[in-house]
Structure 1
C-alpha cells in the first residue's frame, strides 16, 4: 500500500473535518448565514464521504494484492447511495 497517498488522503480528511467543525460552530453561534452555511456543510459532508470511500478502496485493493493506485474517486451520487 502506498502510505504517501493514503497519508495525503487522511490529511485532506483531517482538514475537512476541521473545516466542518468551524462551520458547525459558526452555524450554532448564528455567525453564519444559515441557508448558505448549511449548503456548504452538506457539500463538505459529501466530499468527506468521497474521501473516506477512496481510502477504503485503496486499503481493500492493497489487502487483496491489487494496486491501490487503481482506486478512483467515485461520483457523489454513488457514494451517497450506499447503505450502512
Structure 2
C-alpha cells in the first residue's frame, strides 16, 4: 500500500464514520451497533495513520517506505498520545 492508497483508505473510513453517525441520528441503527462499528473504524484508522507516519519518517530519513508494514492493532493501541 503506497501513501496515496493509505490516504484514500483513511478518507473512506472517515466517510464511513460520518455515515454511521447519520444512521444513528436517523434511527437506522442503535447506539450499540454504532459504538461497535466506530470502535472497529477507530482502530483501523489508528493503524493507517501510524503506518503513514512511519512511512513518511522512513522516506525522509532516506529509507525505503515500501519496507514499512502495517502493525497489528494491539501494538498500535499500546502507544501513548
What is the TM-score with the length of structure 1 in the denominator? 0.88
Kindly state the Cα deviation for residue 38 of structure 1 after the two structures are TM-superposed. Answer: 1.1
Q: Which of the residues 40, 60, 63 maps onto 1:63?
A: 60
User: By how many angstroms is 1:37 displaced?
Assistant: 2.1
After superposing on structure 2, the runs of 4+ consecutive aligned residues of structure 1 that deviate more than 4 Å are none
The equivalent of 1:12 in structure 2 is 9
Q: Flag structure 1 segments of 5+ consecutive residues without an equivalent.
A: none
Secondary structure at the aligned position of 1:66 is classed as coil
RMSD: 1.4
TM-score (norm 2): 0.91
